[in-house]
Chain A
Amino acid sequence: MTTLPFARPRKNTVRASDPKIPNLTPEQLEEFGAEMDAIRQRVIADLGQADADYIRGVVKKQQQFEVAGRAMFYFPPAWPLAVAALSVSKILENMEIGHNVMHGQYDWLGDPKLNSRIYDWDNVCPGEQWKYSHNYIHHTFTNILGKDRDIGYGVLRMDEDQKWHPYYLGNPVYALLLMTFFEWGVAMHDLEVENIVKGTRKMEENKQLHAGIMKKVKRQALKDYLIFPALTGPFFPLTFAGNAAANLVRNVWAFNIIFCGHFPAGVATFTEEECEDESRGHWYYRQLLGSANISGGKLFHTMSGNLSHQIEHHLFPDIPARRYPELAVEVKEICNRYGIEYNTGRLSKQLFSVARKIVRLSFPTPKPKTAAPADVEVAAAA
């Protein structure tokens, strides 16, 4: 990474108000926003055949992996291969196809099969509900404490400003559980169970959501745990286990990619006050500070649905994800000019950073003793 005039403090969580984060003036923010808008406009005007071919190509590949995987369950010695192929298929489907299509990235194609209003992914979370909590809530209120429910998913303590409670001693365990059952976690996300426990949300509000989830769960279970296993006759248990394994692999992968996108050290959180009457420029600024990238090769980016470019995804959530690597070059350059850190690192680095945060935040955060809290944290982390 290039050296920057401002280095971010290495502490668990960073507040946007931290003195080490460049505070852009309203004029700067406006300019910054205009630069981002210009990039966006240029790419949108350039969308075309290559993007169409790409997504259709990915769908075709994914279907081939799926067919191959499902077919190999008829030949038990190939079980590990079958699980591998099905896992690849499920990962591609959830990340590069489902997530991105449901973001509306390909609505311009006019293809009903790749339209955000119609597509519903291979996941127990109903697309309709996911689009609300993800496309709207998470992408609009990214990293605003108390508003972005993706901070810790209502289960984990992922920010120092979430008040500590003995419950959080289990933070690492909850994280492991959430990882294992990620698709279920995502499905339950909208029910806001934590708010029901707190008493700020009523059971009745969940009725409809609950019905939607049950319908989707049934459909998914029927497919992976009944019909496909039954179709392999005597190999029912093997196929059943294989499908479960593929879902597990996909869960673990998706969880890790997503957690590396928002929770490595250096990613900033904001308060509601800071975002009141927010300008477009500030929204971009917040997206940038609230996300982190993972570096890697082309295959890695595809397998992560290009969410390894979480920064670009958050700046331009409705632009086809295959464009993010090309956009990253410009975004980095802009960051450099404004002195904003562009948070990126290898998967291992970002994962380690996230894991450390999960563990450290399971304990209460010591109160800063001096007037320069940031420095204390730096020392503590060193």
Chain B
Amino acid sequence: MTITQRVLGSRVLAALASPHGVDRYLEQMNPMWAATEVRARVVSVTRETTGEHPVATLVLQPTSTWRGHRSGQYVQVGVDLEGGRRTTRCFSISSGASLPGERFSITVRAHEEGIVSKYLVREAQPGLILHLSQAEGEFTLHESAATPTNNHLLMISGGSGITPVMSHVRTLLRDGYDGHANRKVTFLHYARSPEDQIFAEELAEIAAADNGVTVHLRYGNHFFDADELERIVGDFRDLDTWVCGPGGLVELVQEAYADSPRLRVEFFKPPAFAVDGDAEGTVAFARSGEAAANTGESILEQAEAAGLKPEYGCRMGICFSCTSRKTEGTVRNILTGETSSLPDEDIRICVSAPVGSCSVDL
């Protein structure tokens, strides 16, 4: 930490700059100046695929407050969208591990319902400022070039789930982990089609080079199959494995690994759209571990019926005392009838009723 950073982040300065905080002043002067917040400027946007849901890699120059990342971690990216709403989503970092203040990249697929991903792929231009978190997540590597082991590492990914796994492979290769002396890396990836394949060129290069990394690409309806994996790597349950991809793939792999502690999993959470009627499904209260059949009443009422005591005030949507985080599912605003399916959204539970199943952090 430099002296400037230490001064900028000090409590005294924070007190003087209250209530807005030092960052709000710095940001007014230059969006790349920050005391504690992390922001980033988009340096370049490169299309990776041209398919129906195109993918782009964005190279980001973070503010000096960025503490760096370990491969496999993700970052929350907040975008100021048209209409004034800042919307935040998590994206895995696709470049190798970074040091404080160093550039890194995220690779994003434009999903139909993903407003942020669509914006980043289609609209983002160099110069755009993004609001970031520090790197988060435990889907990390414990291997390093400095203290190599002779473990055989296995990476399994599907679709855009390739990003954190790619970060692992890139980090290993960059740091001189060459896979020789029995230190092999096997990379198994499932993509919709060759046109949809992210990092196709780089993967071909990695596969061709003499580096101990073998790459297996599977396309189309070729689903994960434990027997096939066994043929490729032998007894996979004893291999340190990282799997990342859509729920279907992850579930199959988890099944195959039974309870093997060697498996590390990263999920992608797509917005879950309600298909069933209002009063169907289950309401899960994630923090307390309770769950109950959805009665169609407000989440506050359902939580209370389940024996929980969430904070509340007016019970009519005006005081915000009851604001809680909905992690999954669709809710309908009882007052306006509006529905919303965004994951990780703050809602007023006294005026929100679940439409189908949903999960709330209560």
Contacts and interface: CB of A to CB of B under 8 A. Distances in A.
Given A98-B19, A122-B18, A219-B15, A48 B84 contact: yes
Interface stretch (A110-118, A143-151, A186-194, A361-369): A110-118
Interface centre among B82, B85, B320, B336 (most CB of A within 10 A): B320
Contacts of B316: 140, 280, 283
Interface stretch (A51-59, A300-308, A343-351): A51-59
B78 A110 contact: yes
Contact of B319 (A110, A135, A219): A135
B24 A113 contact: yes
Interface residues of A, number: 48
A44 B82 CA distance: 16
A44 B348 CA distance: 15
A135 B84 contact: no
Contacts of A67: 25
B18 A219 contact: yes
A107 B346 contact: yes
Interface residues of B, number: 31
B325 to A, nearest CB: 11
A119 interface: yes
A140 B320 contact: no
Nearest to B321: A136
A117 B323 contact: yes
Contacts of A107: 320, 323, 346
A164 B323 CA distance: 41
Contacts of A139: 314, 318-319
Contacts of B12: 227
A356 B78 CA distance: 52
Interface of B is mostly: loop
Nearest to A134: B319
Interface string A31-64: 0000001001100110111111100000110010
B204 interface: no
Interface in A118-164: 119-122, 131-132, 135-137, 139-140
B317 A223 contact: no
A119 B83 CA distance: 22
Given A121-B19, A227-B15, A318-B317, A59 B85 contact: no
B83 A48 contact: yes
B20 A59 contact: yes
A234 to B, nearest CB: 19
Nearest to A135: B319
Contacts of A45: 336
A140 B315 CA distance: 9
A318 B320 contact: yes
A93 B87 CA distance: 25
Interface in A63-121: 63, 67, 93, 98, 103-104, 107-111, 113, 116-117, 119-121
Contacts of A136: 313-314, 319, 321
A42 B72 CA distance: 44
A67 B29 CA distance: 13
Nearest to A110: B86
B335 interface: yes
A174 interface: no
B319 A140 contact: yes
Contacts of A258: none
Given A47-B84, A140-B316, 11 more contacts: A49-B82, A50-B84, A51-B84, A63-B24, A107-B320, A110-B85, A135-B314, A135-B320, A139-B319, A140-B319, A227-B15
29 contacts: A37-B335, A47-B84, A49-B82, A52-B83, A52-B85, A59-B24, A104-B320, A104-B323, A107-B320, A107-B346, A110-B87, A110-B88, A113-B21, A113-B23, A113-B24, A120-B18, A122-B18, A131-B320, A135-B318, A135-B319, A140-B313, A140-B318, A140-B319, A219-B15, A223-B15, A227-B15, A280-B316, A317-B318, A318-B318
